[in-house]
Structure 1
Amino acid sequence: MTDIARAPTDWNSQAMQRRIRKRYAAERRFRLIGLGAILLSAAFLAFLLVTMVANGARGFTQTEVRLDIDFPASDLFIDPATLQGFGADAALAGADLDGTMRAAARQRYDGMADGMLSDAAWLRVRERIKEDPSILGGTATFWLPASDELDVAAKGDGAPEAEAVHARLEAADAVRTGFNMRFLTGADATDPTVVGIWGAFKGSLLTMLVTLALAFPVGVLSAVYLEEYAPRNRWTDMIEVSINNLAAVPSIIFGLLGLAVFLNFMHLPRSAPLVGGLVLALMTMPVIVIAGRNAIKSVPPSIRDAALGIGASRIQVVFHHVLPLALPGILTGTIIGMARALGETAPLLMIGMRAFIASPPGGITDPATVLPVQIYLWSDEVSRGFVEKTSAAIIVLLVFLLAMNGLAIYLRNKFERRW
């Protein structure tokens, strides 16, 4: 017989001491492995955030070039009287503002004029004239968006020719780089110097509102019925298995379902937040049902027994006692499901929400796109200016997701009850 067999409680024996040392060594190794996993995850997260912020911070800025336009000396002729009221757009439609602007640039900057200004710079000239038609009577100073090449060069990553042009403009105090408010208030465009994120952001908001309005009530009521009222038989077991399987179905399958049912069969408007919300609601609903059932199941049976004991009906027990106690878990699961839906791209591509949308949607039936799809479309552009705009849009999406997760934590803490 060994020492352990003869004296199982002899902690001073050599065999027991070896076993204790091995046990402690294994515990230390496990702690080090766990710490290493956490540090590795934190390093990847920090690398992602630093890379996105470093590339995307430049997307929130814009380079502008100063240009003085002498309207009386130009070939442009617009009667200021026609710019009053609703006829301003029609009066400016036939004016060669782009030619006037580029002629002034050639006169002011000589050889640097070509490729110095954005293709959409004339739009800012038009907006200024609409705001103040009196500038047509003299010389006006404009700060116009620089071209894509000059903008990249101003941020320290351009071609040598563009950097030389920027250096000469900077010496003449004719260039500046500042915060690009249009990026937060504009919509999509073919020119990276004038694109904005508001159109896609509003499309995401409208799509999420439709998703929440459909998925939350149906999901919560389904969870209540399955957990509190449904009999335990073969059919309810089949429904539970189906819901669990739906939660694991690839999202593109829901896109194919939306394409077949909502577009081809029901003929709903293509590329609309209404259809996108319906598709994402189908995808989010199983997650809400599962989270709701787990939250309802976590309520102690004593709560139900006490409510029934004082004369409450079955529906009063559920809606006055069980649901308020399960609400934190339900809301947390709902927000997590909505956050997953916010980042989806594949199902929305299937229903056509990848169209070029030049203006923000006005309602849930107007053509729209969403932030993930907008990021996907910009990442596929050839122009270098879209690279930093893509990273900036990713930052906006991450902030939106963090806000939703923060809302989930706040709601959980606000409605949490301890017993």
Structure 2
Amino acid sequence: MTELAAMTPVPTAPKRIPTDWKSDLMQRRIRKRYASERRFRFIGLAAVSLSVAFLAFLLITMIGNGARGFTQTDIRLPVNFAQTSLMLDPTALTGPNAEAALAAANIQGATEEAAVAAFGPDGADYISDGAWLSVRAAIRKDPAILGKTVDIAVPASTHIDIAAKNGADPEIRAAYQKLEATGRLSTGFNLNFLTGSNSNDPTLVGIWGAFKGSLLTMIVTLLLAFPIGVLAALYLEEYAPRNRWTDLIEVSINNLAAVPSIIFGLLGLAVFLNVMHLPRSAALVGGLTLALMTMPVIVIAGRNAIKSVPPSIRDAALGIGASPVQVVFHHVLPLALPGILTGTIIGMARALGETAPLLMIGMRAFIPAPPAGITDPATVLPVQIYLWADEVSRGFVEKTSAAIIVLLVFLLSMNGLAIYLRNKFEQRW
């Protein structure tokens, strides 16, 4: 009996199969996994929402403040040229010395006299310091107005302009209401902001000088950094021998891409200005400096794009008799061009927004006229924004925001063009 009991198998609990989805243990694991996934999705959605909120706040703030920078408040100023101290003969404006006659005339004094006569003792404070330029332009356009009384639209002063756009400022409520009652105030699009240059008067400043300086600087940067960067990437990836010197060059290029931009400004100051004696504060020097900063980014992106081209493309080209140079320039480079353009977009966008290296080479000078070439003194949009943001006058606040909008539009246009070219040359295999 004992032997029979020993031979009888003892029943044991059934083993749980790992794929038993209905077991309590597996259900707990599944619930835990789903909860973790929901938390991850919530955190990701919260991060995206926070980023979008910050971006929306930035855009709304910039557009809200900058929109007023594209408008200008004008005052129709009645000017009685017969009673002012202008003392300008209309016949003097028809000869070869017309500009000299205008320069010698007391147009500014006559403009202030007209403002006092029209609006009282404080009338000169209601018009901009550069209002006389509008009067001079009207005289140059039609000398026949001399000796007559005509209404000339002149820019209002900064505090009148702010009051007209934002509502009457308590400090100047009486002055603003007085002008508003005359019906001589009007606010419209400020074309001078898009066509003018820098000025000490916020009612006269323009963005064209800095915009043209940025355009010339970016052209110099692109013409230098793009071909040199692409050729360097081709050499390192296709022709350079694999030794310690090549490894040293690769490490150096990777490190240069992470060097602070102000270091490139010091390099440009030391080499291009102190050694080569190139013109200070010129778009040429700015483009050379930014090209040094942009080139490592293009080289790295170019190498990655060239490396991503399948080896079968090279083998097929060599198999049908193409030379190594033809393989590179007829097959590898066209296929890698979209990736190279992507790196160029990143590098140029970084260069467009740089301020520190350009400050080091003197591109923060007061430039009253747009540059005519790459060797003329110039400034760029980021530096112009920086200088306007440092001004005391309240009128520069909206001009700074408006300049930021112009910079963003410039950046988006440049990137849009690059993306279009990248998609045009993109080939799929």
Does the pair score TM above 0.5? yes
356-365 or 27-36, larger mean C-alpha shift: 27-36
**DSSP-derived class of the 2:201 partner:** coil
Q: Which runs of 5 or more residues in structure 1 are unaligned?
A: none
The equivalent of 2:9 in structure 1 is none
Distance 1:86 1:322, change over 3 A: farther
How many equivalent residue pairs? 417
The equivalent of 1:169 in structure 2 is 179
**CA distance in structure 1 between the aligned counterparts of 2:204 and 2:348, rounded to whole angstroms:** 30
**CA distance in structure 2 between the aligned counterparts of 1:338 and 1:164, rounded to whole angstroms:** 50
* Partner residue of 1:103 out of 110, 113, 121: 113
The equivalent of 2:360 in structure 1 is 350
Identity %: 74
| Pairing of 1:339-378 with structure 2 (within 5 A) | 339-378=349-388
* Partner residue of 1:148 out of 118, 133, 158: 158
The equivalent of 1:50 in structure 2 is 60
**CA distance in structure 2 between the aligned counterparts of 1:325 and 1:242, rounded to whole angstroms:** 27
**CA distance in structure 1 between the aligned counterparts of 2:134 and 2:161, rounded to whole angstroms:** 17
298-307 or 165-174, larger mean C-alpha shift: 165-174
**CA distance in structure 2 between the aligned counterparts of 1:209 and 1:408, rounded to whole angstroms:** 14
Alpha-carbon shift at residue 21 of structure 1 (Å): 1.0
Q: Is the 8 A contact 2:77 2:154 kept in 1?
A: yes
Cα displacement string for residues 258-278 of structure 1 (whole angstroms, at most 9, x for unaligned residues): 001110111110000000000
Distance 1:52 1:5, change over 3 A: farther
**DSSP-derived class of the 1:288 partner:** helix
**DSSP-derived class of the 1:24 partner:** helix
Q: Is the 8 A contact 2:127 2:155 kept in 1?
A: yes
Amino acid at match of 1:81: T
**CA distance in structure 2 between the aligned counterparts of 1:163 and 1:272, rounded to whole angstroms:** 45
**1:240 maps onto 2:246 in alignment:** no
| Pairing of 1:374-393 with structure 2 (within 5 A) | 374-393=384-403
100-109 or 214-223, larger mean C-alpha shift: 100-109
The equivalent of 2:315 in structure 1 is 305
Q: Is the 8 A contact 1:4 1:15 kept in 2?
A: no
* Partner residue of 1:74 out of 84, 89, 106: 84
**DSSP-derived class of the 1:406 partner:** helix
For normalisation by structure 1, the TM-score amounts to 0.97
The equivalent of 1:113 in structure 2 is 123
* Partner residue of 1:296 out of 300, 306, 327: 306
Tell me which structure has the larger Cα radius of gyration: 2
Q: Is the 8 A contact 1:243 1:286 kept in 2?
A: yes
**1:134 maps onto 2:144 in alignment:** yes
**DSSP-derived class of the 2:97 partner:** helix
Alpha-carbon shift at residue 164 of structure 1 (Å): 2.5
**1:19 maps onto 2:54 in alignment:** no
Cα displacement string for residues 92-120 of structure 1 (whole angstroms, at most 9, x for unaligned residues): 11211111111111111114403100001
Amino acid at match of 1:407: L
Q: Is the 8 A contact 2:77 2:115 kept in 1?
A: yes
Amino acid at match of 2:129: D
Amino acid at match of 1:293: R
* Partner residue of 2:346 out of 330, 333, 336: 336
**CA distance in structure 2 between the aligned counterparts of 1:404 and 1:336, rounded to whole angstroms:** 11
Distance 1:361 1:85, change over 3 A: farther
Distance 1:336 1:5, change over 3 A: farther
Alpha-carbon shift at residue 416 of structure 1 (Å): 1.1
**CA distance in structure 1 between the aligned counterparts of 2:168 and 2:235, rounded to whole angstroms:** 62
Q: Is the 8 A contact 1:63 1:177 kept in 2?
A: yes
Alpha-carbon shift at residue 82 of structure 1 (Å): 1.9
**CA distance in structure 1 between the aligned counterparts of 2:95 and 2:333, rounded to whole angstroms:** 57
Alpha-carbon shift at residue 171 of structure 1 (Å): 1.9
Cα displacement string for residues 283-310 of structure 1 (whole angstroms, at most 9, x for unaligned residues): 0000000111111111111111000000
RMSD: 1.4
**DSSP-derived class of the 2:219 partner:** helix
Alpha-carbon shift at residue 167 of structure 1 (Å): 2.0
32-41 or 106-115, larger mean C-alpha shift: 106-115
**CA distance in structure 2 between the aligned counterparts of 1:407 and 1:4, rounded to whole angstroms:** 69
**CA distance in structure 1 between the aligned counterparts of 2:234 and 2:79, rounded to whole angstroms:** 69
Alpha-carbon shift at residue 157 of structure 1 (Å): 5.4
104-113 or 232-241, larger mean C-alpha shift: 104-113
**CA distance in structure 1 between the aligned counterparts of 2:341 and 2:91, rounded to whole angstroms:** 58
**CA distance in structure 2 between the aligned counterparts of 1:162 and 1:199, rounded to whole angstroms:** 33
**CA distance in structure 1 between the aligned counterparts of 2:419 and 2:42, rounded to whole angstroms:** 30
**CA distance in structure 2 between the aligned counterparts of 1:67 and 1:106, rounded to whole angstroms:** 10
Distance 1:85 1:314, change over 3 A: farther
Cα displacement string for residues 331-366 of structure 1 (whole angstroms, at most 9, x for unaligned residues): 121122111100000000000000000000000000
Amino acid at match of 2:51: S
Distance 1:274 1:128, change over 3 A: same
**CA distance in structure 1 between the aligned counterparts of 2:95 and 2:160, rounded to whole angstroms:** 37
**DSSP-derived class of the 1:65 partner:** strand
**CA distance in structure 1 between the aligned counterparts of 2:359 and 2:14, rounded to whole angstroms:** 68
**CA distance in structure 1 between the aligned counterparts of 2:329 and 2:39, rounded to whole angstroms:** 49
The equivalent of 1:322 in structure 2 is 332
**CA distance in structure 1 between the aligned counterparts of 2:414 and 2:39, rounded to whole angstroms:** 37
Alpha-carbon shift at residue 155 of structure 1 (Å): 1.1
The equivalent of 1:222 in structure 2 is 232
Amino acid at match of 1:140: V
The equivalent of 1:397 in structure 2 is 407
**CA distance in structure 2 between the aligned counterparts of 1:16 and 1:65, rounded to whole angstroms:** 80
**CA distance in structure 2 between the aligned counterparts of 1:25 and 1:411, rounded to whole angstroms:** 45
Distance 1:86 1:248, change over 3 A: farther
**DSSP-derived class of the 1:187 partner:** coil
**CA distance in structure 2 between the aligned counterparts of 1:388 and 1:158, rounded to whole angstroms:** 17
The equivalent of 1:41 in structure 2 is 51
